[in-house]
Structure 1
Protein backbone atom coordinates (compact mmCIF):
# COMPACT_ATOMS: atom_id res chain seq x y z
CA UNK A 1 0.00 0.00 0.00
CA UNK A 2 1.22 3.47 -0.78
CA UNK A 3 2.29 5.44 2.30
CA UNK A 4 1.31 8.83 0.97
CA UNK A 5 -2.02 10.44 1.72
CA UNK A 6 -4.64 10.82 -0.94
CA UNK A 7 -6.30 14.20 -1.28
CA UNK A 8 -9.43 12.96 -3.01
CA UNK A 9 -12.63 14.42 -1.56
CA UNK A 10 -16.10 12.96 -1.85
CA UNK A 11 -19.20 15.11 -1.70
CA UNK A 12 -22.06 13.59 0.24
CA UNK A 13 -25.71 14.25 0.98
CA UNK A 14 -27.03 14.39 4.51
CA UNK A 15 -30.61 14.58 5.74
CA UNK A 16 -29.74 16.91 8.64
CA UNK A 17 -26.44 18.76 8.22
CA UNK A 18 -26.35 20.13 11.77
CA UNK A 19 -23.65 17.75 13.06
CA UNK A 20 -21.29 18.21 10.14
CA UNK A 21 -19.09 21.27 9.73
CA UNK A 22 -20.38 23.71 7.09
CA UNK A 23 -18.94 22.88 3.68
CA UNK A 24 -17.15 19.77 4.97
CA UNK A 25 -16.39 16.93 2.57
CA UNK A 26 -15.61 13.30 3.19
CA UNK A 27 -11.86 12.97 2.63
CA UNK A 28 -10.24 9.73 1.47
CA UNK A 29 -7.00 9.49 3.45
CA UNK A 30 -5.69 6.18 2.10
CA UNK A 31 -6.84 2.99 0.41
CA UNK A 32 -5.64 -0.50 -0.59
CA UNK A 33 -5.59 -1.92 2.92
CA UNK A 34 -6.96 -5.45 3.43
CA UNK A 35 -9.59 -4.52 6.05
CA UNK A 36 -9.43 -1.55 8.40
CA UNK A 37 -10.84 -1.49 11.93
CA UNK A 38 -10.53 -0.26 15.49
CA UNK A 39 -9.71 3.49 15.30
CA UNK A 40 -8.78 5.15 18.60
CA UNK A 41 -7.37 8.60 19.38
CA UNK A 42 -4.66 9.37 21.91
CA UNK A 43 -4.66 12.50 24.10
CA UNK A 44 -3.12 14.66 21.37
CA UNK A 45 -5.66 13.55 18.77
CA UNK A 46 -3.47 11.17 16.76
CA UNK A 47 -5.57 8.25 15.50
CA UNK A 48 -4.42 4.63 15.55
CA UNK A 49 -6.24 1.95 13.56
CA UNK A 50 -5.76 -1.65 12.53
CA UNK A 51 -5.40 -3.53 9.27
CA UNK A 52 -6.24 -6.89 10.77
CA UNK A 53 -5.56 -9.25 7.83
CA UNK A 54 -2.14 -7.63 7.34
CA UNK A 55 -1.45 -7.74 11.11
CA UNK A 56 -0.56 -4.04 11.49
CA UNK A 57 -1.52 -1.05 13.60
CA UNK A 58 -1.28 2.25 11.72
CA UNK A 59 -1.01 5.82 13.00
CA UNK A 60 -2.61 8.88 11.40
CA UNK A 61 -0.97 11.87 13.06
CA UNK A 62 -2.51 15.26 13.78
CA UNK A 63 -0.26 16.74 11.07
CA UNK A 64 -1.71 14.37 8.46
CA UNK A 65 1.06 11.79 8.24
CA UNK A 66 0.33 8.08 7.90
CA UNK A 67 2.81 5.54 9.29
CA UNK A 68 2.99 1.98 10.63
CA UNK A 69 2.96 2.00 14.44
CA UNK A 70 3.29 -1.76 14.98
CA UNK A 71 3.78 -4.89 12.90
CA UNK A 72 3.09 -8.37 14.26
CA UNK A 73 0.22 -6.73 16.12
CA UNK A 74 -1.60 -9.85 17.31
CA UNK A 75 -4.17 -9.48 14.52
CA UNK A 76 -5.49 -6.55 16.54
CA UNK A 77 -9.07 -5.45 15.94
CA UNK A 78 -10.66 -2.94 18.35
CA UNK A 79 -8.42 -0.38 20.10
CA UNK A 80 -8.86 2.15 22.90
CA UNK A 81 -6.56 4.42 24.90
CA UNK A 82 -6.36 4.57 28.68
CA UNK A 83 -6.09 7.91 30.53
CA UNK A 84 -2.31 7.50 30.69
CA UNK A 85 -2.18 6.94 26.91
CA UNK A 86 -1.53 3.21 26.92
CA UNK A 87 -3.17 1.42 24.01
CA UNK A 88 -5.59 -1.43 24.77
CA UNK A 89 -5.91 -3.85 21.85
CA UNK A 90 -8.24 -6.75 21.10
CA UNK A 91 -5.58 -9.14 19.78
CA UNK A 92 -7.57 -12.10 18.53
CA UNK A 93 -4.69 -13.99 16.88
CA UNK A 94 -4.36 -15.82 20.19
CA UNK A 95 -7.66 -14.57 21.67
CA UNK A 96 -6.03 -12.04 23.98
CA UNK A 97 -6.50 -8.55 25.35
CA UNK A 98 -3.29 -6.49 25.25
CA UNK A 99 -1.97 -3.32 26.86
CA UNK A 100 0.69 -1.67 24.69
CA UNK A 101 3.15 0.72 26.37
CA UNK A 102 5.70 2.42 24.09
CA UNK A 103 5.45 -0.49 21.69
CA UNK A 104 5.89 -3.14 24.41
CA UNK A 105 3.06 -5.66 24.79
CA UNK A 106 1.55 -6.79 28.10
CA UNK A 107 -0.96 -9.63 27.79
CA UNK A 108 -3.90 -8.96 30.10
CA UNK A 109 -6.44 -11.66 29.26
CA UNK A 110 -6.58 -14.91 27.30
CA UNK A 111 -8.97 -17.18 29.21
CA UNK A 112 -12.23 -17.00 31.09
CA UNK A 113 -12.25 -19.51 33.94
CA UNK A 114 -9.49 -21.53 32.21
CA UNK A 115 -11.37 -21.59 28.88
CA UNK A 116 -9.97 -19.85 25.82
CA UNK A 117 -11.86 -16.72 24.82
CA UNK A 118 -13.61 -16.57 21.45
CA UNK A 119 -11.63 -13.56 20.23
CA UNK A 120 -11.88 -10.13 21.88
CA UNK A 121 -13.34 -7.78 19.28
CA UNK A 122 -14.07 -4.27 20.55
CA UNK A 123 -13.13 -2.47 23.76
CA UNK A 124 -13.86 0.59 25.90
CA UNK A 125 -11.89 1.87 28.91
CA UNK A 126 -13.97 3.55 31.62
CA UNK A 127 -12.72 6.70 33.42
CA UNK A 128 -11.91 4.59 36.50
CA UNK A 129 -9.66 2.29 34.45
CA UNK A 130 -12.01 -0.68 34.18
CA UNK A 131 -11.96 -2.28 30.72
CA UNK A 132 -15.10 -3.57 29.00
CA UNK A 133 -14.84 -5.73 25.88
CA UNK A 134 -16.98 -7.90 23.61
CA UNK A 135 -16.02 -11.47 22.74
CA UNK A 136 -17.90 -12.77 19.69
CA UNK A 137 -16.76 -15.78 17.66
CA UNK A 138 -15.64 -15.02 14.10
CA UNK A 139 -13.84 -17.94 12.51
CA UNK A 140 -10.38 -16.74 11.41
CA UNK A 141 -8.32 -18.34 8.67
CA UNK A 142 -5.20 -17.97 10.84
CA UNK A 143 -6.65 -20.20 13.61
CA UNK A 144 -6.17 -23.95 13.84
CA UNK A 145 -9.40 -24.41 15.82
CA UNK A 146 -12.70 -24.63 13.91
CA UNK A 147 -15.17 -24.00 16.73
CA UNK A 148 -15.29 -21.98 19.96
CA UNK A 149 -14.20 -23.35 23.33
CA UNK A 150 -16.80 -21.21 25.12
CA UNK A 151 -20.50 -21.92 24.58
CA UNK A 152 -21.51 -18.24 24.80
CA UNK A 153 -20.57 -14.98 23.08
CA UNK A 154 -20.44 -12.46 25.89
CA UNK A 155 -19.58 -9.05 27.29
CA UNK A 156 -16.75 -8.88 29.85
CA UNK A 157 -15.28 -6.56 32.46
CA UNK A 158 -11.54 -6.64 33.14
CA UNK A 159 -10.91 -4.96 36.49
CA UNK A 160 -7.79 -3.02 37.38
CA UNK A 161 -6.92 -5.79 39.85
CA UNK A 162 -6.75 -8.33 37.02
CA UNK A 163 -10.07 -10.05 37.68
CA UNK A 164 -12.19 -10.95 34.64
CA UNK A 165 -15.98 -10.92 35.03
CA UNK A 166 -18.54 -12.12 32.50
CA UNK A 167 -21.26 -9.47 32.54
CA UNK A 168 -23.82 -10.57 29.94
CA UNK A 169 -23.91 -13.81 27.93
CA UNK A 170 -27.32 -13.36 26.29
CA UNK A 171 -26.06 -12.02 22.95
CA UNK A 172 -26.15 -13.72 19.58
CA UNK A 173 -22.95 -11.91 18.53
CA UNK A 174 -21.83 -8.85 20.53
CA UNK A 175 -19.60 -6.40 18.73
CA UNK A 176 -19.41 -2.59 18.98
CA UNK A 177 -19.03 -1.00 22.41
CA UNK A 178 -18.67 2.53 23.82
CA UNK A 179 -19.30 4.24 27.15
CA UNK A 180 -20.08 7.78 28.23
CA UNK A 181 -17.24 10.01 29.51
CA UNK A 182 -18.82 10.25 32.97
CA UNK A 183 -18.63 6.46 33.28
CA UNK A 184 -22.37 6.11 33.90
CA UNK A 185 -23.64 4.44 30.71
CA UNK A 186 -22.45 1.69 28.41
CA UNK A 187 -23.68 0.95 24.88
CA UNK A 188 -23.20 -2.53 23.38
CA UNK A 189 -24.30 -3.72 19.95
CA UNK A 190 -25.54 -7.23 19.25
CA UNK A 191 -24.74 -7.31 15.55
CA UNK A 192 -26.01 -10.89 15.33
CA UNK A 193 -29.49 -9.78 16.46
CA UNK A 194 -29.40 -6.29 14.87
CA UNK A 195 -29.90 -4.49 18.20
CA UNK A 196 -28.01 -2.03 20.38
CA UNK A 197 -28.47 -1.93 24.17
CA UNK A 198 -27.74 0.63 26.86
CA UNK A 199 -26.72 -0.29 30.43
CA UNK A 200 -26.28 1.74 33.58
CA UNK A 201 -22.83 1.24 35.15
CA UNK A 202 -22.84 0.83 38.93
CA UNK A 203 -20.21 2.21 41.31
CA UNK A 204 -18.41 -1.14 41.39
CA UNK A 205 -18.27 -1.35 37.58
CA UNK A 206 -21.06 -3.88 37.16
CA UNK A 207 -24.06 -3.29 34.91
CA UNK A 208 -27.75 -2.85 35.58
CA UNK A 209 -30.92 -1.60 33.87
CA UNK A 210 -30.27 -3.15 30.45
CA UNK A 211 -32.54 -1.49 27.88
CA UNK A 212 -32.97 -1.83 24.13
CA UNK A 213 -31.69 1.47 22.71
CA UNK A 214 -32.32 0.97 18.98
CA UNK A 215 -33.26 -1.84 16.63
CA UNK A 216 -29.96 -1.65 14.78
CA UNK A 217 -26.73 -3.48 15.37
CA UNK A 218 -23.28 -2.06 14.78
CA UNK A 219 -19.72 -3.10 14.08
CA UNK A 220 -18.11 -0.15 15.85
CA UNK A 221 -19.48 2.97 17.54
CA UNK A 222 -18.63 6.31 19.07
CA UNK A 223 -20.25 9.25 20.90
CA UNK A 224 -20.06 13.01 20.43
CA UNK A 225 -20.33 15.87 22.94
CA UNK A 226 -24.07 16.18 22.29
CA UNK A 227 -24.55 12.59 23.52
CA UNK A 228 -25.32 11.33 20.01
CA UNK A 229 -24.44 7.70 19.24
CA UNK A 230 -22.80 6.79 15.90
CA UNK A 231 -23.40 3.26 14.55
CA UNK A 232 -21.60 1.64 11.62
CA UNK A 233 -22.20 -1.00 8.99
CA UNK A 234 -24.00 0.28 5.91
CA UNK A 235 -22.53 3.76 6.24
CA UNK A 236 -22.95 5.72 9.49
CA UNK A 237 -26.27 6.13 11.29
CA UNK A 238 -26.50 8.65 14.13
CA UNK A 239 -29.04 8.56 16.97
CA UNK A 240 -29.69 11.14 19.68
CA UNK A 241 -29.77 10.23 23.37
CA UNK A 242 -33.47 9.27 23.08
CA UNK A 243 -32.76 6.69 20.38
CA UNK A 244 -34.15 8.83 17.56
CA UNK A 245 -32.39 8.69 14.20
CA UNK A 246 -31.08 12.17 13.37
CA UNK A 247 -28.45 11.64 10.66
CA UNK A 248 -27.18 9.22 8.02
CA UNK A 249 -23.83 9.55 6.26
CA UNK A 250 -23.23 7.39 3.20
CA UNK A 251 -19.70 6.03 2.90
CA UNK A 252 -18.36 4.86 -0.51
CA UNK A 253 -17.19 1.44 0.68
CA UNK A 254 -18.58 -2.08 0.96
CA UNK A 255 -18.66 -1.91 4.77
CA UNK A 256 -18.08 0.78 7.36
CA UNK A 257 -16.37 -1.01 10.22
CA UNK A 258 -15.67 1.60 12.89
CA UNK A 259 -15.05 5.26 13.70
CA UNK A 260 -13.76 7.68 16.32
CA UNK A 261 -13.13 11.39 16.82
CA UNK A 262 -9.55 12.65 16.52
CA UNK A 263 -7.50 15.64 15.42
CA UNK A 264 -6.18 18.59 17.43
CA UNK A 265 -9.68 19.84 18.21
CA UNK A 266 -11.25 16.34 18.48
CA UNK A 267 -13.71 17.36 15.77
CA UNK A 268 -12.37 15.14 12.98
CA UNK A 269 -14.44 12.00 12.47
CA UNK A 270 -12.04 9.22 11.44
CA UNK A 271 -13.74 6.33 9.62
CA UNK A 272 -12.43 2.85 8.81
CA UNK A 273 -14.33 1.36 5.88
CA UNK A 274 -13.23 -1.92 4.31
CA UNK A 275 -9.96 -1.21 2.43
CA UNK A 276 -10.12 2.56 3.00
CA UNK A 277 -9.92 5.20 5.72
CA UNK A 278 -11.72 8.56 5.59
CA UNK A 279 -12.04 11.73 7.64
CA UNK A 280 -14.92 14.17 7.93
CA UNK A 281 -14.78 17.49 9.78
CA UNK A 282 -17.65 17.83 12.25
CA UNK A 283 -19.32 20.70 14.08
CA UNK A 284 -19.54 18.46 17.17
CA UNK A 285 -16.56 16.96 19.01
CA UNK A 286 -15.69 13.59 20.44
CA UNK A 287 -15.85 12.87 24.15
CA UNK A 288 -13.61 9.81 24.51
Structure 2
Protein backbone atom coordinates (compact mmCIF):
# COMPACT_ATOMS: atom_id res chain seq x y z
CA UNK A 1 0.00 0.00 0.00
CA UNK A 2 2.83 2.39 0.86
CA UNK A 3 4.56 1.72 -2.45
CA UNK A 4 1.29 2.16 -4.33
CA UNK A 5 0.60 5.44 -2.53
CA UNK A 6 4.07 6.79 -3.34
CA UNK A 7 3.65 5.81 -6.99
CA UNK A 8 0.33 7.60 -7.13
CA UNK A 9 1.85 10.74 -5.61
CA UNK A 10 4.71 10.62 -8.12
CA UNK A 11 2.29 10.28 -11.04
CA UNK A 12 0.24 13.19 -9.72
CA UNK A 13 3.37 15.35 -9.51
CA UNK A 14 4.40 14.49 -13.07
CA UNK A 15 0.88 15.23 -14.36
CA UNK A 16 0.90 18.63 -12.63
CA UNK A 17 4.26 19.51 -14.15
CA UNK A 18 3.07 18.51 -17.63
CA UNK A 19 -0.08 20.63 -17.31
CA UNK A 20 1.99 23.66 -16.26
CA UNK A 21 4.42 23.17 -19.12
CA UNK A 22 1.64 22.90 -21.69
CA UNK A 23 -0.01 26.05 -20.34
CA UNK A 24 3.27 27.94 -20.58
CA UNK A 25 3.85 26.83 -24.17
CA UNK A 26 0.29 27.79 -25.10
CA UNK A 27 0.83 31.24 -23.61
CA UNK A 28 4.01 31.73 -25.68
CA UNK A 29 2.01 31.34 -28.90
CA UNK A 30 -0.31 34.20 -28.04
CA UNK A 31 0.26 37.52 -29.78
CA UNK A 32 -0.41 40.91 -28.23
CA UNK A 33 -3.60 42.62 -29.24
CA UNK A 34 -3.49 44.93 -32.23
CA UNK A 35 -2.97 48.60 -31.36
CA UNK A 36 -5.85 50.99 -32.08
CA UNK A 37 -5.57 53.29 -35.09
CA UNK A 38 -7.01 56.66 -35.92
CA UNK A 39 -10.52 56.68 -37.39
CA UNK A 40 -9.62 59.16 -40.15
CA UNK A 41 -10.96 57.93 -43.50
CA UNK A 42 -7.56 58.19 -45.20
CA UNK A 43 -5.84 55.99 -42.59
CA UNK A 44 -5.86 52.23 -43.16
CA UNK A 45 -5.62 49.40 -40.62
CA UNK A 46 -2.03 48.71 -41.70
CA UNK A 47 -0.62 50.42 -38.63
CA UNK A 48 -2.38 47.99 -36.28
CA UNK A 49 -1.10 44.96 -38.15
CA UNK A 50 2.51 46.10 -38.34
CA UNK A 51 2.70 47.10 -34.68
CA UNK A 52 2.47 43.53 -33.39
CA UNK A 53 5.53 42.20 -31.56
CA UNK A 54 7.76 45.15 -32.45
CA UNK A 55 11.45 44.78 -31.47
CA UNK A 56 12.70 46.86 -28.57
CA UNK A 57 14.27 50.21 -29.45
CA UNK A 58 16.52 52.61 -27.60
CA UNK A 59 14.95 55.10 -25.21
CA UNK A 60 13.67 58.25 -26.87
CA UNK A 61 13.70 61.59 -25.14
CA UNK A 62 11.77 64.54 -26.47
CA UNK A 63 8.34 65.65 -27.52
CA UNK A 64 6.85 65.26 -30.98
CA UNK A 65 5.77 68.48 -32.71
CA UNK A 66 2.15 69.59 -32.91
CA UNK A 67 0.24 72.13 -34.95
CA UNK A 68 1.78 74.65 -37.32
CA UNK A 69 5.59 74.68 -37.59
CA UNK A 70 7.71 77.53 -38.98
CA UNK A 71 10.62 76.68 -41.30
CA UNK A 72 13.47 79.21 -41.36
CA UNK A 73 15.25 79.65 -44.67
CA UNK A 74 19.05 79.23 -44.54
CA UNK A 75 19.99 82.18 -46.75
CA UNK A 76 23.64 81.18 -47.09
CA UNK A 77 22.55 77.99 -48.85
CA UNK A 78 20.45 79.65 -51.57
CA UNK A 79 21.47 78.30 -54.95
CA UNK A 80 24.15 80.10 -56.95
CA UNK A 81 23.16 78.35 -60.18
CA UNK A 82 21.44 80.18 -63.01
CA UNK A 83 19.68 77.04 -64.25
CA UNK A 84 16.59 75.68 -62.49
CA UNK A 85 17.09 72.61 -60.35
CA UNK A 86 16.63 71.03 -56.94
CA UNK A 87 18.43 70.34 -53.69
CA UNK A 88 17.86 66.74 -52.58
CA UNK A 89 18.90 63.95 -50.24
CA UNK A 90 19.97 65.80 -47.07
CA UNK A 91 22.10 63.73 -44.71
CA UNK A 92 23.82 64.78 -41.47
CA UNK A 93 27.36 63.41 -40.95
CA UNK A 94 29.38 64.41 -37.88
CA UNK A 95 28.92 68.21 -37.81
CA UNK A 96 27.78 68.96 -41.35
CA UNK A 97 24.80 68.59 -43.67
CA UNK A 98 25.45 67.10 -47.11
CA UNK A 99 22.93 67.36 -49.93
CA UNK A 100 22.67 66.84 -53.69
CA UNK A 101 22.34 69.88 -55.94
CA UNK A 102 21.23 69.07 -59.48
CA UNK A 103 19.82 70.92 -62.50
CA UNK A 104 17.15 69.85 -64.97
CA UNK A 105 19.42 70.19 -68.02
CA UNK A 106 22.64 68.50 -69.19
CA UNK A 107 21.64 65.03 -68.05
CA UNK A 108 20.55 66.34 -64.63
CA UNK A 109 24.11 67.33 -63.76
CA UNK A 110 24.60 67.05 -60.00
CA UNK A 111 27.08 67.83 -57.25
CA UNK A 112 27.14 67.19 -53.50
CA UNK A 113 27.22 70.30 -51.34
CA UNK A 114 28.24 70.63 -47.69
CA UNK A 115 26.77 73.00 -45.10
CA UNK A 116 29.22 73.15 -42.19
CA UNK A 117 28.79 74.23 -38.58
CA UNK A 118 29.77 77.82 -39.42
CA UNK A 119 26.94 78.09 -41.94
CA UNK A 120 29.23 78.11 -44.97
CA UNK A 121 28.36 76.06 -48.06
CA UNK A 122 31.08 74.40 -50.13
CA UNK A 123 31.13 71.76 -52.84
CA UNK A 124 32.20 68.41 -51.37
CA UNK A 125 31.99 66.33 -54.56
CA UNK A 126 31.81 67.66 -58.11
CA UNK A 127 29.88 65.81 -60.81
CA UNK A 128 28.40 63.22 -58.44
CA UNK A 129 25.35 62.55 -60.62
CA UNK A 130 23.41 62.02 -57.39
CA UNK A 131 19.92 62.47 -56.01
CA UNK A 132 19.07 60.87 -52.64
CA UNK A 133 21.83 60.35 -50.06
CA UNK A 134 22.31 58.20 -46.96
CA UNK A 135 25.23 57.38 -44.69
CA UNK A 136 26.51 53.86 -43.95
CA UNK A 137 28.11 52.48 -40.78
CA UNK A 138 31.55 53.60 -41.98
CA UNK A 139 30.52 57.21 -42.45
CA UNK A 140 30.49 56.95 -46.25
CA UNK A 141 27.80 58.43 -48.45
CA UNK A 142 25.50 56.03 -50.27
CA UNK A 143 23.83 57.78 -53.19
CA UNK A 144 21.16 57.15 -55.76
CA UNK A 145 23.08 58.14 -58.89
CA UNK A 146 21.02 58.80 -62.01
CA UNK A 147 24.22 59.49 -63.92
CA UNK A 148 25.22 55.83 -63.53
CA UNK A 149 21.65 54.44 -63.10
CA UNK A 150 22.93 52.70 -59.98
CA UNK A 151 23.64 53.03 -56.29
CA UNK A 152 27.07 54.50 -55.57
CA UNK A 153 29.23 54.93 -52.49
CA UNK A 154 31.30 58.10 -52.02
CA UNK A 155 34.02 59.00 -49.56
CA UNK A 156 32.88 62.49 -48.46
CA UNK A 157 36.47 63.49 -47.68
CA UNK A 158 38.10 62.43 -50.98
CA UNK A 159 35.17 62.16 -53.39
CA UNK A 160 36.25 58.65 -54.37
CA UNK A 161 33.35 56.66 -55.83
CA UNK A 162 32.61 52.94 -55.95
CA UNK A 163 29.56 51.03 -57.18
CA UNK A 164 27.13 49.37 -54.76
CA UNK A 165 24.67 47.80 -57.20
CA UNK A 166 24.21 48.43 -60.91
CA UNK A 167 21.52 46.13 -62.33
CA UNK A 168 18.41 44.07 -61.73
CA UNK A 169 17.47 41.20 -64.06
CA UNK A 170 20.22 42.19 -66.46
CA UNK A 171 19.13 45.84 -66.87
CA UNK A 172 20.30 49.08 -65.29
CA UNK A 173 17.88 50.97 -63.07
CA UNK A 174 15.77 53.96 -64.12
CA UNK A 175 17.03 56.69 -61.78
CA UNK A 176 17.67 55.53 -58.19
CA UNK A 177 16.23 58.15 -55.91
CA UNK A 178 15.86 57.79 -52.14
CA UNK A 179 17.62 55.35 -49.76
CA UNK A 180 17.20 53.72 -46.34
CA UNK A 181 19.89 51.58 -44.70
CA UNK A 182 19.24 49.08 -41.90
CA UNK A 183 21.71 48.57 -39.05
CA UNK A 184 22.84 45.25 -40.53
CA UNK A 185 23.75 46.95 -43.83
CA UNK A 186 20.67 46.00 -45.82
CA UNK A 187 19.81 48.80 -48.26
CA UNK A 188 16.35 49.75 -49.51
CA UNK A 189 15.86 52.24 -52.35
CA UNK A 190 13.27 53.65 -54.71
CA UNK A 191 13.71 53.71 -58.48
CA UNK A 192 11.27 56.13 -60.16
CA UNK A 193 11.70 57.48 -63.69
CA UNK A 194 12.22 61.16 -62.89
CA UNK A 195 15.81 61.28 -64.22
CA UNK A 196 15.57 58.21 -66.48
CA UNK A 197 16.83 60.26 -69.45
CA UNK A 198 20.14 60.95 -67.72
CA UNK A 199 21.61 57.84 -69.35
CA UNK A 200 20.45 55.03 -71.67
CA UNK A 201 18.46 52.02 -70.46
CA UNK A 202 16.27 51.26 -67.49
CA UNK A 203 13.62 48.97 -66.03
CA UNK A 204 10.20 48.29 -67.52
CA UNK A 205 8.51 49.48 -64.34
CA UNK A 206 9.34 51.83 -61.51
CA UNK A 207 10.01 49.94 -58.30
CA UNK A 208 11.21 49.59 -54.72
CA UNK A 209 14.24 47.37 -54.14
CA UNK A 210 16.10 45.60 -51.34
CA UNK A 211 19.87 45.02 -51.48
CA UNK A 212 21.00 42.27 -49.10
CA UNK A 213 24.35 42.48 -47.35
CA UNK A 214 25.74 40.00 -49.90
CA UNK A 215 24.70 42.30 -52.76
CA UNK A 216 21.65 40.32 -53.89
CA UNK A 217 18.93 42.59 -55.27
CA UNK A 218 15.25 41.73 -54.88
CA UNK A 219 12.11 43.62 -55.88
CA UNK A 220 9.94 44.75 -52.96
CA UNK A 221 7.11 46.40 -54.92
CA UNK A 222 6.49 47.57 -58.49
CA UNK A 223 2.87 48.71 -58.08
CA UNK A 224 3.55 52.31 -56.99
CA UNK A 225 3.84 54.80 -59.83
CA UNK A 226 7.18 56.55 -59.35
CA UNK A 227 7.95 55.53 -55.75
CA UNK A 228 9.87 58.35 -54.13
CA UNK A 229 10.61 58.72 -50.40
CA UNK A 230 11.68 55.71 -48.33
CA UNK A 231 12.42 55.27 -44.61
CA UNK A 232 12.64 52.69 -41.83
CA UNK A 233 10.87 52.80 -38.46
CA UNK A 234 13.19 53.15 -35.42
CA UNK A 235 12.79 49.42 -34.64
CA UNK A 236 13.37 48.59 -38.33
CA UNK A 237 10.21 46.49 -38.29
CA UNK A 238 8.40 48.68 -40.84
CA UNK A 239 9.51 50.03 -44.23
CA UNK A 240 7.74 53.18 -45.40
CA UNK A 241 7.51 54.23 -49.06
CA UNK A 242 5.59 57.09 -50.64
CA UNK A 243 4.83 57.92 -54.25
CA UNK A 244 2.02 57.96 -56.76
CA UNK A 245 2.27 61.53 -58.00
CA UNK A 246 -0.84 63.69 -57.67
CA UNK A 247 -2.79 60.70 -56.35
CA UNK A 248 -0.10 60.06 -53.78
CA UNK A 249 0.07 57.61 -50.91
CA UNK A 250 2.20 56.45 -48.01
CA UNK A 251 2.58 52.67 -47.86
CA UNK A 252 3.83 50.58 -44.91
CA UNK A 253 5.48 47.18 -45.25
CA UNK A 254 5.91 45.05 -42.11
CA UNK A 255 9.40 43.52 -42.00
CA UNK A 256 9.61 39.91 -40.82
CA UNK A 257 13.02 38.25 -40.38
CA UNK A 258 14.57 41.11 -42.33
CA UNK A 259 12.25 40.78 -45.33
CA UNK A 260 9.46 43.28 -46.21
CA UNK A 261 6.03 41.69 -46.46
CA UNK A 262 3.06 42.89 -48.54
CA UNK A 263 2.52 46.59 -47.99
CA UNK A 264 -0.70 48.38 -47.08
CA UNK A 265 -1.58 52.02 -47.63
CA UNK A 266 -1.26 53.99 -44.41
CA UNK A 267 -2.21 57.41 -45.82
CA UNK A 268 -3.79 58.36 -49.15
CA UNK A 269 -4.77 61.64 -50.78
CA UNK A 270 -1.24 63.09 -50.83
CA UNK A 271 -0.12 65.52 -53.54
CA UNK A 272 3.18 64.42 -55.08
CA UNK A 273 4.80 63.11 -51.88
CA UNK A 274 8.59 63.29 -51.98
CA UNK A 275 11.09 62.66 -49.17
CA UNK A 276 10.71 61.48 -45.58
CA UNK A 277 12.43 61.49 -42.20
CA UNK A 278 11.53 59.59 -39.02
CA UNK A 279 11.88 60.81 -35.43
CA UNK A 280 12.86 58.55 -32.53
CA UNK A 281 9.21 57.99 -31.59
CA UNK A 282 8.48 56.74 -35.10
CA UNK A 283 6.62 59.82 -36.35
CA UNK A 284 6.89 60.35 -40.10
CA UNK A 285 7.91 63.73 -41.59
CA UNK A 286 6.71 63.70 -45.20
CA UNK A 287 7.19 66.40 -47.82
CA UNK A 288 4.74 67.20 -50.61
CA UNK A 289 6.66 68.61 -53.55
CA UNK A 290 4.55 71.17 -55.43
CA UNK A 291 2.23 71.68 -52.45
CA UNK A 292 5.29 73.12 -50.65
CA UNK A 293 4.15 71.39 -47.52
CA UNK A 294 5.56 69.21 -44.75
CA UNK A 295 3.17 66.89 -42.92
CA UNK A 296 3.97 64.99 -39.73
CA UNK A 297 2.16 61.70 -39.09
CA UNK A 298 2.15 59.29 -36.18
CA UNK A 299 2.97 55.63 -36.95
CA UNK A 300 -0.82 55.09 -37.00
CA UNK A 301 -1.19 57.60 -39.84
CA UNK A 302 -2.69 60.46 -37.83
CA UNK A 303 -1.49 63.93 -38.86
CA UNK A 304 -0.17 65.89 -35.87
CA UNK A 305 1.75 68.80 -37.41
CA UNK A 306 2.41 70.64 -40.65
CA UNK A 307 4.54 73.38 -42.18
CA UNK A 308 4.67 75.39 -45.40
CA UNK A 309 7.62 76.76 -47.37
CA UNK A 310 8.06 79.37 -50.09
CA UNK A 311 9.48 76.97 -52.68
CA UNK A 312 8.92 73.39 -53.82
CA UNK A 313 9.97 70.82 -51.21
CA UNK A 314 11.94 67.62 -51.75
CA UNK A 315 13.31 65.93 -48.62
CA UNK A 316 14.01 66.07 -44.90
CA UNK A 317 16.64 64.96 -42.36
CA UNK A 318 17.48 65.48 -38.69
CA UNK A 319 20.81 66.97 -37.66
CA UNK A 320 22.40 69.79 -35.72
CA UNK A 321 24.45 69.71 -32.53
CA UNK A 322 21.75 67.91 -30.53
CA UNK A 323 20.19 66.09 -33.47
CA UNK A 324 16.95 68.05 -33.02
CA UNK A 325 17.10 70.30 -36.07
CA UNK A 326 14.96 69.21 -38.99
CA UNK A 327 16.50 70.26 -42.30
CA UNK A 328 14.37 70.58 -45.43
CA UNK A 329 15.63 70.67 -49.02
CA UNK A 330 13.80 72.10 -51.99
CA UNK A 331 14.11 74.09 -55.19
CA UNK A 332 17.51 75.69 -54.70
CA UNK A 333 16.73 76.22 -51.03
CA UNK A 334 17.39 74.92 -47.52
CA UNK A 335 15.25 75.44 -44.40
CA UNK A 336 15.49 74.34 -40.80
CA UNK A 337 12.97 73.77 -38.02
CA UNK A 338 14.13 73.54 -34.42
CA UNK A 339 12.32 70.69 -32.66
CA UNK A 340 12.33 69.03 -29.25
CA UNK A 341 13.00 65.51 -30.52
CA UNK A 342 15.77 63.66 -32.33
CA UNK A 343 15.39 61.66 -35.52
CA UNK A 344 17.00 59.99 -38.52
CA UNK A 345 20.06 61.61 -40.05
CA UNK A 346 18.69 61.17 -43.58
Shorter-normalised TM-score: what interval? 0.7 to 0.9
Unaligned runs of 5+ in 2: 1-62, 104-108
- Secondary structure at the residue paired with 1:252? coil
Question: Quick one: which of 132, 140, 165 aligns to 1:78?
Answer: 132
Larger Rg: 2
- Equivalent residue, structure 2, for 1:95: 149
Unaligned runs of 5+ in 1: 1-16
1:226 deviates by: 2.6
1:63 deviates by: 3.5
Report if the CA contact (8 A) 2:317-2:344 is conserved: no
1:209 deviates by: 4.5
Question: Quick one: which of 68, 88, 92 aligns to 1:41?
Answer: 92
- Secondary structure at the residue paired with 1:119? coil
CA distance in 2, matches of 1:162, 1:18: 36
Report if the CA contact (8 A) 2:239-2:252 is conserved: yes
1:151 deviates by: 1.6
1:45 deviates by: 4.2
Q: 1:24 to 1:156 in 2, by over 3 A?
A: closer
Which structure has more helix as a fraction of its residues?
2
Question: Quick one: which of 114, 119, 123 aligns to 1:64?
Answer: 119
Question: Quick one: which of 13, 25, 28 aligns to 2:74?
Answer: 28
1:191 deviates by: 3.1
- Equivalent residue, structure 1, for 2:100: 50
- Secondary structure at the residue paired with 2:340? coil
Report if the CA contact (8 A) 1:175-1:189 is conserved: yes
Report if the CA contact (8 A) 1:126-1:181 is conserved: no
TM-score with structure 2 setting the length: 0.71
1:140 deviates by: 5.3
CA distance in 2, matches of 1:218, 1:35: 15
1:139 deviates by: 4.5
- Secondary structure at the residue paired with 2:274? coil
- Secondary structure at the residue paired with 1:19? coil
CA distance in 1, matches of 2:224, 2:165: 21
Aligned residues: 265
Match status 1:180 vs 2:226: no
